[in-house]
Amino acid sequence: MIQNIPLYDICSLSDIDQDDILISRFAPYLDTHKNLLTTHRHSFYHVVLFTEAGGTHTIDFENFEARPGQIYFMTPGQVHSWSFSGHTDGYIINFSTSFLQSFLLQQGYLDNFSFFSGNLADAVINLPDETYKTVKALFETIIAEYEAPSASASDMVRLLMLQIFIKVNRLCINPVSGGNSSYNQTLLKSFKNLIEHHYSDIKLPKDYAAMLYITPNHLNAVCKDIMGISAGEMIRNRVLLEAKRMLTNPKLSINEISLKLNFSDNSYFTKFFKKLEETTPEEFRKKLIYDHGK
């Protein structure tokens, strides 16, 4: 029988009545939740710093080598699995959108951090030694606040988390010279946000360019300059990713997925998927379920 890919919330992973934050050392967390080794999805933000690690982990169907000093960030809805070799330890923080947002005036504040953009190239970071030492010390303080809370412990945890995010984000920011580069970065961020909201119903770069009040050629040039791919590829890649995520749910038929992504018919969706992934949606799903069952 085909098994559904599980979706976990914080409550389902916590021993205490807590639905917005879960903090732990990684080894005992992994020992308690061995089910997380296989393919699953999160309803929360997920941050891990490895102090000891070997093997691999997978985020949205892309494999990464796990190594000491590596930090990775995941957003709600992403698909995840671990395949470790040897002893693995570190720190883990699972938190809801509301946990930090209740502390901040600026809506969408987490969108300022490149590693929460959904772009996997920014989400997995091997920290330089000095940054690793600083970030590790912050995680230790967070663990202490969480396990033996004093007055305003939750606010202290929030402050420490923001310190980690800001310090890591500084590593990811490329130095820019002149206002035009800064403008293009902002433009790209706006384009990504539009894709995130409209990938299922708007497929053409010219329509996004119109929403951004620029020409399609300008949008394409910005994408190629910063991302190395065209605007059309960025849109298609996001549609493909959502198709893969939907395929983890066997309750959805291929035809239902096609309709949800606004393809004119099932055969067009299959052609689109096979062109980009070099396999059909059915074959992709069979392999995913097979890997999950191993």
Whichever domain contains 168, its CATH number is 2.60.120.280
- Number of separate domains in the chain: 2
Task: Say if residue 186 is in the same domain as residue 163.
Answer: no
Query: Alpha-carbon distance 94 to 32, whole Å?
Result: 15
Tell me which residue range forms the domain holding 252.
179-293
Task: Say if residue 24 is in the same domain as residue 71.
Answer: yes
Which of 172, 195, 218 lies at the terminal end of a domain, its last residue? 172
At 57-73, the pLDDT tens digits run 999 999 999 999 999 99
Q: Is 293's pLDDT higher than 90?
A: no
Structure tokens at 204: 């053409």
Which of 172, 198, 214 lies at the terminal end of a domain, its last residue? 172
Query: Alpha-carbon distance 26 to 24, whole Å?
Result: 6
* Mean pLDDT to the nearest integer, 24-36: 91
Query: Alpha-carbon distance 215 to 194, whole Å?
Result: 16
Task: Say if residue 15 is in the same domain as residue 153.
Answer: yes
Structure tokens at 109: 């504040």
Residue 1 lies in a domain: no
At 111-159, the pLDDT tens digits run 888 898 878 888 999 999 999 999 999 999 999 999 988 899 999 999 9
At 84-113, the pLDDT tens digits run 998 999 999 999 988 988 788 877 788 888
Q: Is 20's pLDDT higher than 70?
A: yes
Amino acid at 43: S
> Are 43 and 76 a contacting pair, CB within 8 Å?
yes
Query: Alpha-carbon distance 32 to 49, whole Å?
Result: 18
Residue 272 lies in a domain: yes
The pLDDT value recorded for residue 291 is 64
The pLDDT value recorded for residue 119 is 80
Q: CATH code at 239?
A: 1.10.10.60
Q: Is 34's pLDDT higher than 60?
A: yes
The pLDDT value recorded for residue 4 is 61
Task: Say if residue 154 is in the same domain as residue 205.
Answer: no
Task: Say if residue 167 is in the same domain as residue 197.
Answer: no
* Mean pLDDT to the nearest integer, 39-55: 93
Q: What's phi and psi for 247, nearest 5 deg?
A: -70, -15
At 204-246, the pLDDT tens digits run 999 999 999 999 999 999 999 888 999 999 999 999 999 999 9
Model pTM score: 0.82
For 60, left (φ over 0), alpha (ψ -120 to 50), or beta?
Answer: left
Query: Alpha-carbon distance 217 to 133, whole Å?
Result: 44
The pLDDT value recorded for residue 3 is 45
Task: Say if residue 104 is in the same domain as residue 231.
Answer: no
Percent of the chain clearing pLDDT 90 (strictly above)? 61
> Are 134 and 48 a contacting pair, CB within 8 Å?
no
Task: Say if residue 92 is in the same domain as residue 146.
Answer: yes
Structure tokens at 221: 């040039």
Q: What's phi and psi for 220, nearest 5 deg?
A: -65, -40
Q: Is 290's pLDDT higher than 80?
A: no
The pLDDT value recorded for residue 2 is 38
Percent of the chain clearing pLDDT 70 (strictly above)? 92
Task: Say if residue 35 is in the same domain as residue 159.
Answer: yes
Task: Say if residue 233 is in the same domain as residue 112.
Answer: no
The pLDDT value recorded for residue 172 is 77
Which class for 144: exposed (0-12), middle (13-18), buried (19 or more C-beta within 10 A)?
middle
The pLDDT value recorded for residue 173 is 67
Which of 151, 172, 193 lies at the terminal end of a domain, its last residue? 172
Looking from the CA of 69 toward its CB, the CA atoms found within 13 Å total 9
Structure tokens at 145: 């606040």
- The separation between CA 257 and the C-alpha centre of its own chain, rounded to angstroms, equals 21
